[in-house]
Chains A and B, each alone.
Chain A
């Protein structure tokens, strides 16, 4: 099928031509199902209120059918990659965690189950190494600042935050 332009609509990427067709199909099947049911049931069901409620049920089923049809016709515009977190990411991530407003914290403050949880996932050493590096950095930075009489700028401030993403709320 012909493709158009990639656009972001309602929080995800779609193809503009596919979107047009999908909406046409969605509207046609759903409304068609509803109107048809309304027409047929009006003669069959005695209470008009119930006939309308059942027509709505059929119309909503039509919505699901049109969704299934469109899911068959139009593939998702997403790339899903199976992979574990990239070790290179961890460095940027740690930088982000250091700049957390609540502070990085110390492993010594953690309750025993959380320490066990971290060890089980192989993350304990990562946090321990980061903590050690931070302590060393703080000592060195403190001395330097005392020598020159000015506070040293934090290197964290220069790094970007990978996980910062726009959310609508």
Chain B
């Protein structure tokens, strides 16, 4: 009993910390989920926080961030993070109509409702899939390579991404061989390299006289910050009143669907389900607001499901979210490990029951909702103005350069740093030129660590 109470206190404390931290980070554009949530979750794991605290921290962070990312997206027309990019077009139209606060409120309300729906559904789907767990764990190397090919085909690069998997996996295998010679084994450095790739590639472009012409600008970017209109009393507006009946139905429906489809890219799911909703709404204004509501709901539900289902059912990171931002929940040596050779896992999958995942999952959503939702509803405009006027992009890049250095040196000294740079440059350029996106690259990493050893064993080489 005392143990349970202490677990709950840890979960509540860590969840609140994650929610507050990431409600603030969500306001800053360019703070991609993998580069922010993954290192901090890793830190929480390594500091020895109990499993319930680790899990609640991760989930509350993701849910809080996907509510406040709507603030820069709606008010300034800058995507809050990667998941906010599919929201840009509709948010832009409503901003030009002079009603960005409507866009914001619809998005945040969609998010909170979808998050609450998604946790129990994701746990349910995981429990239904769990009986296949042992079989899937056994076949993991082959399932990962199949998932990598499917995710690659559905990326913007299509067949180019599928074929690019081969050289990309080869580069990772080669780098692992190289670092092994020095007795260094890396994992988070690869994730960070992949996630930060677009920045690394852009920094190389700055240095190159050939590519610098492409990125040169003659004037600063101009943003119009629209006025805010508050049309409710009190501090905590009712999300069910912000949405109309059909928007509520679409949010619930798309949240339910995206809670089941856990192997696809979360950005692709957000785009796709938004298109489905958009094709069913006839009036253009109603279409814009409904698509925004449903899409931001999907940014929550798809994240929750993609982290929860593989974690509960298999313990293997079998989705782009699980392989990327949620990676430290699966693999954070020496505490959490996935053994490539035997498929043996030792992580939150073994340390928590389905009921605990459900309970702490709902706790995380409640905490994120209590922090992020009223904040985004009440202080959106002043927060967006503060970030846009005070926080230079140079400062953001300085922070992430420091992050690359600290994580790289922490994990593998100079070797870690070189791996982040190499993977970042290769991955970032492939993303920019071929549309070989980060989700595919994460799966490529798992193909290298799980499939390649199994393949060499099978071939007896």
Residues of A at the B interface (CB closer than 8 Å) are 5-16, 18-19, 21-23, 25-27, 29-31, 33-35, 49-50, 52-57, 59-60, 62-64, 66-71, 74-85, 89-90, 93, 96-97, 100, 102-107, 109-111, 113-114, 117-118, 120-121, 123, 127, 162-165, 167-169
Contacts and interface: CB of A to CB of B under 8 A. Distances in A.
Contacts of B222: 78-81
A6 B202 contact: no
Given A30-B402, A81-B222, A97-B284, A74 B392 contact: yes
Contacts of A164: 89
Contacts of B395: 22, 67-68, 70-71, 74
Contacts of B219: 6
B156 interface: yes
B402 A80 contact: no
A70 B392 contact: yes
B34 interface: no
> Would you call the interface of chain B mostly helix, strand, loop, or mixed?
helix
B96 interface: yes
B212 A9 contact: no
Nearest to B407: A56
B284 A105 contact: yes
Interface of B: 29-30, 39-40, 43, 46-48, 76-79, 82, 85-86, 88-89, 92-93, 95-99, 102, 156, 198-199, 202-203, 205-206, 212, 215-227, 231, 244-246, 267, 271, 278-279, 281-287, 289, 334, 385, 388-403, 405-407, 409-410, 437
A120 B285 CA distance: 14
A102 B287 contact: yes
A100 B231 CA distance: 29
Contact of A52 (B76, B389, B398, B410): B410
Contact of B388 (A11, A25, A67, A76): A76
Contacts of A77: 220-221, 392-393
A27 B46 contact: no
A7 B399 contact: no
Given A70-B394, A169-B82, A55 B410 contact: yes
10 contacts: A11-B30, A13-B220, A14-B397, A23-B398, A26-B398, A71-B390, A84-B226, A102-B279, A109-B283, A167-B85
A18 B396 CA distance: 12
Given A64-B399, A107-B283, A80 B225 contact: yes
A49 to B, nearest CB: 7
B39 A105 contact: no
A63 B406 contact: yes
Contact of B394 (A22, A64, A68): A22
A46 B279 CA distance: 62
Nearest to B381: A82
Nearest to A93: B96
